[in-house]
Structure 1
């Protein structure tokens, strides 16, 4: 009898042990499956991405999904290939479409027009007077029935566009960033918001597309003025997919750009050509409210230039998230370095590699990303498309 009881107890013990082992085996399997799901689930398409960059972004999205987080991106050369403000400038110059800027010698945004431009013996006023004279002659020819195609072959036009690109470069060397950042959108001066939006939309239609990306030299007939020009803009599918994956997983996406907000909105908020963002997700430069556009900044608004991008995020975005910083920030230039490095809440800072100097601030962050094999905070992603042409271009 006692032997039988011992046998029964032994069987029960063995059974309990088996159940316990089975329980832990099942739990281990569940944990393993969760780990695999966490690390192997694909939140967005990896095509076109550096494998390590995609892995870092993918795990960020999965781990921070549905937790009330947000991401902030620069627009020009980060979200898109090339620069939307520059695309507008190219379109305006090539088609002689401006606001009332010609009546102001194209200098509406420049305060000290009698200051010599860096490295030259000419002032902004003198450059503007020449541009206005050339513009007036070309407009007279258009009014007389000459075609734009014919005008583009003339010396006035060739000198006009070369001086324009030189002036853009010289202003950046001569004045603080708040002056030359305002100069390009300042060429919309005198237009109503609706007129400016129509012109911006025309420019985007003309310049948008991977096949439109090119680099060329604009040089004056005498060889004195000119420089390299980037033409075309392109919104890569890779960035569209990233924005969508973030939004689909409850990580709200924002744009913080040093281009005029009105210009950025035209593409970023377009659901067909762009990202379909709502306007409250886009922060760019803002001019003071007026019936017609002026090149005067809104004094009540934090302009997102350089360190201003950090203040813009703190003032207008972070309060919606309990004061927390973004979990992801994306940029490509020195102007983005402040927001790429400012927030302890940022898990990853995505750098789009457009060939900046390794000695620049953004170049040093890119070098750090490389040294860490894209496994640290900074992730370095090669640009998604390149322009046709062999002209070297080094931006800020």
Structure 2
């Protein structure tokens, strides 16, 4: 299992470098407009969210380890392809391949984790992976920051080479992970059963709503701080450090409180409430002219947000694993993981319009969505659990 952790850490370093430097690389070096970059990434993640289910199904049928190795190598190739992109068409194609490989890789790794760990340990082990993933992203972001500081074509190209090599190295490590036997399709059962599992699809939708917090630190809060508050613009860096360090130190401890579907539902409800209150606090930060007061309010909001983030992650990891049938973890994790891809795709457009235009009222609406999703999780889990029990009885 240490190798699975190592592979996750290595690929996260590549992800961090990509996240920090990609937008400026595509605009300053490739020459695309911000609108073209946004369009390409939106199309890419839309295609990737659909492909993740199919590639997760492939992991179930062909084995998650081999599938994960191939998709890690595919990610490396797609990152390398960005070095040769010179037009919007080529960029969209490369973005689609990148997103498909990333979504499929996530599903395959989750299926591999599910096959190698005891069900009672999956959520805690997933928390360890998340904590180390944040550490890897921070390291990669520092490398990307060097490229941003230098601002040269060669520096950006070097970051993309590092990203590609990180996924090659992750693929080599994944080859050493113990294999999980593939599960053939039984006679008479649908090939992609998750598409017919309405309760699980509802939970994947609720998970997606909760994941709308993802664009906050990368896009929404920097713009909110600079345009609506008296706080210094550098405060977003302090908030990001607070978020990353908190997940690294406390995510495993938070996850230990989740021991089954009931406690997972309770954590999801706590997450919805915490995220709701954090949004209310963020809305207050625009009131007054004191930079210190605004900074303090924003830091309180960031602390509440990361608590909600960790509770949401722990609860929904247990739900995603616990309600997926044996032998179908890949396709089920592919659908569940699509929530992150869709949040990346729709979140920036939705949240910038909602909050930067709507102001405090927009924060309240966003918080209400978190609160509603958290509240609906428990009845949705009970529905999904009954559905899985009835399917098992019919077999």
Richer in strand (by share): 1
| TM-score, structure 1 as length reference | 0.23
Richer in helix (by share): 2
| TM-score, structure 2 as length reference | 0.23
Higher relative contact order (CA 8 A, sep 6+): 2
